[in-house]
Structures are given as C-alpha cells and as structure tokens.
C-alpha cells in the first residue's frame, strides 16, 4: 500500500462520486437552508490566490454546516460582463463573448480542482440573455417606480477606456481612504474635500476628465437615509465596512446659510459649523457652480481660471476673486466672492462660507489669498489661540458674534437656526448611481428613443434586448450596429433608435444572490416565495475592496425590490466576512504584479489547506514556501497515520504478521478518549467562529497525539479507531479529497462529506481548562528538571491541593473585587479550621482577585492528571503518581487549585 497521498491521483474519482451522489445540490423544497456565498468571480482568466482564499472559506463553512445537519445552499456563478473582457478581446483580436466563455471553462475547472463543492445545477452567467433579461425587466420596473432618471450630467470620463465612470470608480485619495475600511472618519466641511476631484480611472489609471452627456441613473439617493440608518443594525458586518459606507453616504447635519449676491440673487452655502457664521470673511463657489458659468461669460479672469482648473489634476488652493460681493446675512457686511477649486460642485451646495479662523482649508486659502481671519469662537477654558499658526477648529464659546456672544457652540448652532436666511439642512456625499456605459459588453438598456414619444421602455414581451454581434471599433460597438439600432417605436410605430448605452456591470451583481434561489424561474428574476423563505444570505465572503460599491448596491437593490413588492426583506446579508490579502514578498499576490503562484504548483488541495491554516480569514498573510510545505506535510502525516492503521487491520484479517492491538482498556486510554472529546469540542467552536487556522492547529496536535499514543503501547482498538474517524471528519471541511480517501481506508460507509459531525461522548465543557492544566503541569516539571538538573528522574509526584483551597478560590472568584476578600473568605467556618494557612492563601487570592482564571474542581483535576500520567512517564521516563494532599502533608502547602505541587526524586 502506498504511504504517500497524491491528491492528483484521487481527485477525479471523488469528484465523480460527489457529482453522482449530488452531494452539493440543494433541492428546491428544503426549508431555509444555510446560504453560504462567496462573491462570484469576475471572469478574468484563471483563479488567483484571492479567489482561492475567498472560496476556501465559504467551502469549509458550507461543508461543516452540511455535516452538522443543515441543508446548505452553496452556489457559484460568473460575473461575466464588463470592460476588461472587452479590452482583452480587443488585444487578442477576438470577441468578448468567446474570450469570456473560454475564461469560464478554465475557471470552472480550477474550482473543481480545488475540491470546492458547489451546486452547479444553479450556475448563473451574467452575460447569458436568460440572466440579463432580468436586468432589463428590473430596469423597467425601477422606471415605473421613479427609481430611474435620464439626465444630462457632467460625468467622469476616462479618455482611454472611452467610457463614463461612476464616482466610486474614480480613485482619489479620499476614496482610497474610505475604501480602506479602517474606520477613520473622513472629515469634510460641506462641499470641500469631496470625491471625484482630480482622480484617475480605477481600471487603467488615466486621469479622469469631465464631460456632459445624457445618462441613466438609479436614484439610490432616495434611500440614503435608510441605507445609512440600517448600518446600525448590521451586527454581523465588520465595523470597517459599516464605517466605509457611512463615510460614502456622508450624511451630515448642519445648516444652509443664504448670502445675497446682488443682481445674481441668492447663494446658499452648507455648513456644519453654523456657530462660526460671524467669522465668514468670504464666500467661495465651486468652478462647476451654476452661477460661475454665468460669471465666466463676462468676467475674463473667471473664464481663464475655469480653463486653468480644467487642465490640471491638482488645482490645490488656487482661486480667483470675482467682482461680486455677498451680503453677510447676520452682519450685513459685504464680503468678497471667490471661485475656488477646493470647493466641489457635487458635494453640499457647491458653495462654502469661508471661515479662516475655524476651518483648516479656509485658513490655508485665506493665507494664500490674503483674506482676513476673524475669530468668533474661543476655548471655554480661557486658554489662548494662535490663529496665525492655524485655525481653532474645536467647539468653544462664541465671541464677536453680536447677541450670540457667550453661548456655547452647540447651543449657538441651535439658536442661530432661527435667523432669517438660515435653515436646518442635511447633505449627503452619496450621489445617484450612474449606470450608463458607452461600451459593448454589458446589458443593453431597454429603451427606444423616439422623436415624438421620447424615451420609451421596451415592453416585457420584447425582452430580452439581446446584444448585437460584436464589431471592433474604438468607439461604442452598439452605436455602429446599424441594423440592431434602428427599430420601430414601441408606442407609435415610427422610426426610432435603441439606446446604445449598456448597464454598469455592478447592476448584474446587485441581485445575483437572488437568482441562485430559483435560477431557472421564467416568470420573474426570482421566485418570491423561495426568496422570502431562504434569505438572507447567512454568510457572505469577499474582499473588503467592495465595501462601498457592491455591498452598498445589494443593500439598495434589496430595499428597492421590497418596495416593488417583490421581497419581504430589506437587508440581504446577515453575516459578512472580508477575507484579508495573500501577500508575496510583502505585495498583494496577483498576476498583474507578476507574483501569483499558480494553485497547481503544490497541489491544489495543499494550497487550499495552506490558505486556511495561515491566518484568521480577515487577516493578511504572507505566502511562503515553508508554510505551504507544512500544509503538505500535515496531509501526508494524516494519510500515513490512517494508512498504517488500515494496513495493520488488513494484515490481521489475512492472519499475516501485524503489530499488536488491545481490545481491553487500560488507564491511559481514558486520556485519549477524553482528548478526542476535547478536540471535537474545541474544533467545533473554531469552525463556528470561522477560525480555520485554529482548526488546523488543533488537528495537527491531535494527529501528533494519535501517533504518540499508537507508539506508546499497542493501541486500544475501540478508542484509537474512533480517534482516526474523528480526525477524518474534522478534516473533511478543509481537506475534502484527503478526508474521503481516509474515510475509504477506514472502510467506513458512504461519503465523509455526508457523514454526521462528531459529538463528544462525555461532558467536556471545561476542555480548555483541562488542557491548560496538563500543559502547564508538564511545563512545570520540565522547568524543575532543568533548574535542578535532573536528567533522569526516578519518580514524579503530583499532589493536588486540599479541598478547602478550591472552596476559597471559588469564594474569591464570586466576590466583588472591591470587597475585603480576605474577610469574605475567612468568614466561612470551614476556612477558619485551617487557621494561618487559610489566611495566607486568602491574602494571595485577594492580590490576584481580578485575574482569577477559571478552574476545574479538585476531583476533576485529580482525574485529568491521572489520565495524563502516561504523558509524564513517556516524556520523563519516570514513575508518576498523582494524589490528593492530606492534612499532614509537607507538599500540601505548595499545592494550589489547578497548580499541583510537584515533587521529583
């Protein structure tokens, strides 16, 4: 029999059996299965390390829950539309569909190779008309519900990709910060510090330009408040993601202050610091503010400035003074009006009141342009401020503010709202979701433009609007598809043209988790009854780079669908896990960085085991050859252990020479039996908490113990074979091929993938304390033999403390740490009988009262140590006795609860 495990040799067989038995299929009729979902992959060529980690996590959880008795839904599909496919096809002189289909074939094979168990009968591909017809259907439903707008808009335009980009697809320093998910609040005042200024394309890094185009939008801002407030209840989501979404939605409460600018009417500025209004020494308008366009027509300086701003990525603190003045609504003074690039037109109102004394940006701008700095808030404690150095941005007490002098900032913000020209206001950083893309490889927007009827939605019976055949052009291929483009108007029958924009691919992924529930449903995107019962997604796993795009859109879609009467839930995902990054030499492993290590190099199952064993799912870790080979060695160790056992068993059956075994139990077998139970309990807890790295650590220890046990004395068959079965089952979620092989070697029935999760046979709720006890006692004996330099001890005596000490310990544990603990303990009659010894021990406990760890009681301690005697004998080669302390015992004084006295001779 081969002693080496070769995953490549067995994988096809087990895949075949899993498929034949339909192990991973979820019948439609099951009730509320555990819905485990990894963010479906973009079809970019082949699996990379990030995918493997993502799907290893979902697969391990799905397998664990299946064995634990749940029905499990674990589907897979393909995020197949999008610009990268179009670019790749362009480079390779093929078409996006052929390229995408080839990627899907390769990636499906890669997933199978890793042993991931998916319900392939539910596979979906977003570039199939059967899928994207529902994007179109939903678009028209959204249109009916006023969730769609068609508007001329200044949009972010990537000249290289020749497409519009959503704000979230423009990378700026602020966007990068919010996307990092580190929970750091992005501080911006009204319209400053916003997004999409001077950014670059998220795909190609080209500086983004501005253009005016007619565009389709989903009005996600209708849900801004609900999406914001709902975050508070998403307890199963990482705080970092929730913070990112809060920052992205950017809800700020404050006030709008109206300034009179003479012949141009009024300008409103948003501020969160109304208490500083008396300190406003100028008014600044964003270059894109409506008023600025008018000004530019007759003011050459303004016109020149607009050109300057348009031609730079970093306009910094530049600005131009206009010939306007604004009347301060409180003081009546005339203050200058500037156009300044640091004010963004798409945040707040596109205008800010400049308060150099109390705002960082305004202070810097005033410095640059020699504007007055006027302090109107001072520290409450009377400490000074140096406004030449920098602004005073804290709250404080008002000064130089007329009738409001002496008010605290917070009170002033309330009172000032009553003034003419001031209104309470809330602003959001979130903008409506621009879904138009001027590219081919996406869902055609189901609209026909008619000269008479306007934009007419394509009727349901004419859906799907399928993509025309691909033609290679640097512009939009849909525009070039003349025959496809020209149609009759659905309303009046006149000549009309189709909309040639396609949808942002984020539309496809905003509801795909619903399609998996009823992938072949023909009357609607999904079967509502199933969705109402099976949602939410119980566990969703993916990268944290999706914190503000995809993960906000699925929340928006779920709410919109609920309002359309298609769902009864408003949040789609119960528990969200963001897996960390796999690094190689400190860099993210990716093909573009040239450091991806193909999953096949070390055997797919080894790679999978390695990524789970290396770290907690949320943490980054470094890919190292050493750690991969540790995972490989662990597989081999498990295989050898079980193969040896099976070999001996077969030899005995054939009456050949074989190692001895026992069918009668001895004392040390009790240790193994209890350790099997402790391992089940510990590993189950780790699986429940997604700590697969700790599962691997537990199983490595357990495999070593089984090996040691089998070589210590002939194994007791009943306990040992149970240990091997338990090892195999606990391994099955993280190394599925190996576990099937082991299960087969053990001559067990059926598939381990469908076996029942093991249960402890005894109460091992104290398993952590018990193990700690054995571990520290072993370490203590080691220390003593080292210190007194005993190479070869004859006898080791472990003396478990007297019963009264456990009682004293329990009293101290229960006591309020602020109480007089010594008195508390010595109040008990049973303690007084032990006189000074009890008082001394009580004093020790009082010192440690805040750090008293949980313990097992004396009887249990005695039993655990007695079971572990063989470990001491094996390691130190000495006779070992374990006993309870007696009253006249000289060792009794040293023994403490869960800290036996040790005597070595």
Q: How far is the CB of 81 from Zn ion (least distance, A)?
A: 17
Region binding Zn ion by CB under 5 A among candidate stretches 271-279, 319-327, 487-495, 606-614: 487-495
Largest CA distance in the chain: 110
Nearer to Zn ion, 80 or 456 (CB): 456
Contact of 286 with 344, CB cutoff 8 Å: yes
**489 counts as binding Zn ion under rule CB under 5 A:** yes
| Residues from 140 through 179 that contact Zn ion (CB under 5 A) | 158, 160-161
Rounded Cα distance, 511 and 561, in Å: 10
492 vs 833, beta carbon nearer Zn ion: 492
Q: How far is the CB of 494 from Zn ion (least distance, A)?
A: 5
For residues 861 and 866, what is the distance between their CA atoms, to the nearest angstrom? 8
- Compute the least distance from the CB of residue 148 to Zn ion, in Å: 19
CB of 850 to Zn ion, least distance (A): 58
Nearest CB to Zn ion, comparing residues 380 and 494: 494
Q: Is 492 in the site for Zn ion (CB under 5 A)?
A: yes
Stretch that binds Zn ion, among 203-211, 311-319, 365-373, 679-687 (CB under 5 A): 203-211
> Nearer to Zn ion by C-beta: 304 or 494?
494
Q: State which H helix or E strand residue 758 sits in.
A: none
Q: Which residues of 787-814 are buried (b: 16+ CB within 10 A; e: fewer)?
A: eeebeebeebbbbbbbebbbbbbebbee
- Number of Cβ atoms within 10 Å of the Cβ of 737: 28
State the burial class of residue 692 (Cβ atoms within 10 Å of its Cβ: 0-12, 13-18, 19+).
buried
With respect to Zn ion, which residue has the nearer C-beta, 171 or 669? 171
CB of 205 to Zn ion, least distance (A): 7
For position 416 contacting Zn ion by CB under 5 A, the verdict is no
Which of 293, 307, 452, 469 binds Zn ion (CB under 5 A)? It is 452
Residue corresponding to tokens 């897979």: 76
For residue 572, give every residue at least 6 positions away whose Cβ sits within 8 Å of its Cβ, in sequence order, or none: 513, 535, 536, 537, 554, 555, 557, 558
> Taking a C-beta distance cutoff of 8 angstroms, is the pair 478, 500 a contact?
yes
6 or 462: whose CB is closer to Zn ion? Answer: 462
For Zn ion, the closer of residues 203 and 722 by Cβ is 203
Least separation in angstroms between residue 754's CB and Zn ion is 48
How many residues lie near Zn ion (CB under 5 A)? 14
Residue 501 CB, shortest distance to Zn ion, in Å, is 17
C-beta of 195 vs 771, nearer to Zn ion: 195
Binding segment (CB under 5 A) for Zn ion, from list 53-61, 272-280, 453-461, 720-728: 453-461
Is residue 685 near Zn ion by the rule CB under 5 A? no
Asked whether position 450 contacts Zn ion by CB under 5 A, the answer is yes
Contact status: 304 vs Zn ion (CB under 5 A): no
What is the rounded CA–CA span in Å between residue 71 and residue 65? 8
Q: Which two tokens stand for residue 413?
A: 């913000």
Nearest distance in Å: CB 277, Zn ion: 42
Hey, which residues between 206 and 225 contact Zn ion (CB under 5 A)? Answer: 206
* Distance in Å, CB of 454 to Zn ion, minimum: 8
**CB of 738 vs Zn ion, minimal distance in Å:** 44
| Nearer residue to Zn ion within complex by CB, 255 or 448 | 448
Of 152, 345, 364, nearest to 354 by C-alpha is 364
Q: Cis before residue 536, ω within 30 degrees of 0?
A: yes
Q: Using the minimum distance from each CB to Zn ion, give the nearer residue, 12 or 460.
A: 460
List of residues 6+ apart from 514 with CB closer than 8 A: 525, 526, 531, 535, 561, 567
Residue 162 Cβ, how far from Zn ion at the closest point, in Å?
Answer: 8
CB of 430 to Zn ion, least distance (A): 23
Q: Which stretch binds Zn ion (CB under 5 A): 205-213, 226-234, 260-268, 525-533?
A: 205-213
In angstroms, the CA 325 to CA 338 distance is 9
- Binding residues for Zn ion restricted to 328-387, rule: CB under 5 A: none
Distance from the Cα of residue 362 to its chain's centroid: 37
Stretch that binds Zn ion, among 193-201, 313-321, 322-330, 591-599 (CB under 5 A): 193-201
d(CA 552, CA 863): 55
CA distances from 669 to 643, 660, 718, 720, 768 (A): 21, 15, 10, 9, 20
Could you say whether residue 453 binds Zn ion (CB under 5 A)? yes
| C-alpha span between 887 and 801 (Å, rounded) | 10
Comparing CB distances to Zn ion, the nearer of 169 and 518 is 169
> Based on CB atoms, which residue is closest to Zn ion, 495 or 601?
495
Report CA dihedral (100, 101, 107, 111) to the nearest 10 degrees.
140
How far, in Å, CA of 570 to CA of 536, rounded? 9
Residue closer to Zn ion, measured from CB, 209 or 290:
209
Q: Is 795 within 8 Å of 876 (Cβ atoms)?
A: no
Name the CA dihedral angle for 664, 669, 672, 677, rounded to a multiple of 10 degrees: 70
Question: Which structure tokens are listed for 114?
Answer: 């890793």
Near Zn ion by CB under 5 A: residue from 80, 89, 201, 878: 201
| One of 19, 25, 299, 491 touching Zn ion (CB under 5 A) | 491
Give the residues lining the site for Zn ion (CB under 5 A). 158, 160-161, 201, 203-204, 206, 450, 452-453, 489, 491-492, 494
């Amino acid at each position: 029999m081969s002693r080496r495990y070769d995953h490549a040799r067995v994988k096809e067989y087990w895949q075949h059996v899993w498929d034949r038995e339909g192990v991973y299929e979820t019948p439609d009729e099951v009730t509320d299965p555990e819905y485990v979902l990894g963010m479906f992959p973009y079809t970019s060529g082949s699996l990379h390390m990030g995918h493997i980690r993502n799907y290893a996590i979902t697969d391990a959880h799905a397998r664990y829950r299946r064995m634990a008795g749940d029905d499990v839904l674990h589907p897979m599909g393909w995020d197949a539309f999008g610009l990268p496919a179009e670019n790749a096809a362009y480079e390779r002189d093929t078409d996006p569909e052929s390229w995408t289909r080839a990627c899907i074939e390769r990636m499906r094979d890669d997933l199978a190779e890793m042993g991931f168990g998916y319900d392939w009968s539910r596979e979906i591909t977003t570039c199939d008309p059967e899928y994207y017809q529902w994007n179109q259907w939903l678009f028209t439903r959204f249109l009916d519900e006023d969730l769609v707008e068609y508007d001329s808009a200044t949009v972010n335009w990537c000249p290289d990709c020749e497409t519009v980009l959503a704000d979230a697809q423009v990378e700026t320093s602020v966007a990068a910060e919010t996307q990092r998910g580190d929970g750091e609040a992005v501080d911006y005042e009204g319209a400053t510090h916003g997004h999409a200024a001077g950014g670059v394309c998220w795909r190609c890094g080209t500086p983004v330009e501005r253009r005016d185009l007619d565009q389709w939008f989903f009005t996600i801002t209708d849900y801004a408040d609900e999406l914001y407030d709902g975050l508070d209840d998403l307890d199963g989501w990482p705080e970092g993601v929730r913070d990112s979404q809060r920052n992205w939605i950017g809800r700020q409460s404050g006030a709008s202050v109206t300034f009179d600018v003479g012949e141009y009417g009024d300008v409103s500025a948003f501020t969160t610091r109304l208490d500083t209004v008396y300190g406003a020494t100028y008014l600044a308008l964003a270059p894109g503010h409506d008023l600025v366009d008018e000004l530019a027509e007759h003011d050459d300086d303004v016109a020149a400035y607009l050109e300057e701003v348009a031609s730079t990525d970093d306009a910094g603190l530049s600005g131009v003074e206009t010939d306007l003045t604004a009347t301060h609504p409180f003081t009546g003074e005339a203050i200058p009006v500037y156009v300044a690039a640091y004010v963004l037109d798409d945040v707040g109102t596109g205008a800010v009141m400049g308060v150099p004394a109390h705002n960082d940006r305004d202070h810097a701008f005033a410095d640059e342009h020699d504007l007055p700095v006027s302090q109107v808030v001072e520290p409450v404690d009377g400490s000074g401020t140096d406004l030449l150095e920098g602004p005073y941005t804290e709250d404080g007490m008002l000064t130089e503010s007329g009738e409001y002098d002496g008010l605290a900032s917070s009170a002033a913000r309330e009172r000032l709202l009553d003034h003419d020209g001031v209104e309470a206001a809330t602003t959001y950083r979130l903008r409506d979701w621009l879904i138009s893309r001027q590219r081919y490889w996406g869902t055609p927007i189901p609209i026909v433009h008619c000269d008479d009827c306007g934009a007419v939605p394509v009727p349901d019976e004419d859906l799907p609007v399928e993509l025309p055949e691909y033609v290679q052009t640097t512009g939009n291929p849909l525009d070039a598809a003349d025959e496809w483009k020209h149609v009759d108007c659905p309303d009046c029958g006149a000549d009309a043209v189709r909309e040639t924009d396609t949808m942002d691919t984020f539309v496809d992924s905003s509801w795909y988790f619903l399609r998996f529930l009823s992938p072949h449903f023909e009357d609607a995107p999904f079967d509502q009854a199933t969705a109402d019962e099976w949602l939410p997604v119980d566990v969703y796993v993916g990268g944290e780079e999706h914190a503000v795009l995809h993960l906000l859109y699925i929340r928006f879609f779920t709410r919109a669908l609920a309002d359309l009467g298609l769902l009864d839930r408003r949040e789609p995902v119960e528990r969200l896990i963001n897996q960390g990054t796999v690094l190689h030499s400190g860099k993210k492993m990716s093909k573009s960085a040239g450091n991806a290590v193909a999953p096949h190099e070390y055997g797919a199952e080894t790679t999978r085991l390695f990524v789970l064993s290396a770290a907690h799912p949320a943490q980054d870790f470094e890919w190292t050859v050493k750690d991969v080979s540790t995972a490989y060695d662990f597989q081999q160790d498990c295989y050898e252990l079980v193969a040896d056992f099976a070999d001996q068993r077969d030899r005995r059956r054939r009456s050949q020479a074989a190692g001895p075994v026992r069918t009668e139990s001895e004392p040390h077998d009790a240790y193994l039996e209890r350790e099997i139970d402790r391992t089940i309990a510990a590993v189950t807890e780790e699986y429940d908490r997604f700590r697969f790295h700790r599962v691997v650590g537990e199983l490595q220890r357990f495999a070593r113990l089984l090996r040691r046990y089998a070589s210590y004395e002939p194994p007791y068959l009943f306990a040992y074979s149970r240990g091997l079965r338990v090892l195999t089952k606990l391994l099955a979620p993280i190394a599925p091929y190996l576990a099937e092989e082991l299960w087969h070697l053990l001559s067990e029935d059926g598939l381990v993938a469908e076996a029942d999760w093991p249960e402890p046979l005894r109460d091992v709720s104290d398993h952590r304390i018990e193990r700690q006890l054995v571990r520290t006692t072993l370490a203590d004996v080691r220390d003593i033999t080292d210190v007194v330099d005993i190479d070869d001890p004859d006898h080791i005596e472990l003396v478990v403390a007297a019963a009264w000490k456990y009682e004293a310990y329990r009293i101290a544990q229960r006591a309020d740490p602020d109480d007089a603990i010594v008195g508390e303990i010595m109040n008990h009659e049973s303690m007084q009988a032990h006189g000074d010894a009890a008082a001394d021990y009580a004093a020790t406990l009082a010192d440690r009262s805040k750090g008293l760890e949980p313990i097992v009681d004396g009887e249990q301690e005695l039993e655990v140590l007695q079971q572990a005697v063989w470990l001491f004998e094996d390691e130190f080669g000495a006779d070992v006795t374990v006993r309870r302390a007696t009253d006249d015992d000289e060792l009794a004084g040293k023994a403490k609860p869960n800290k036996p006295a040790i005597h070595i001779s």
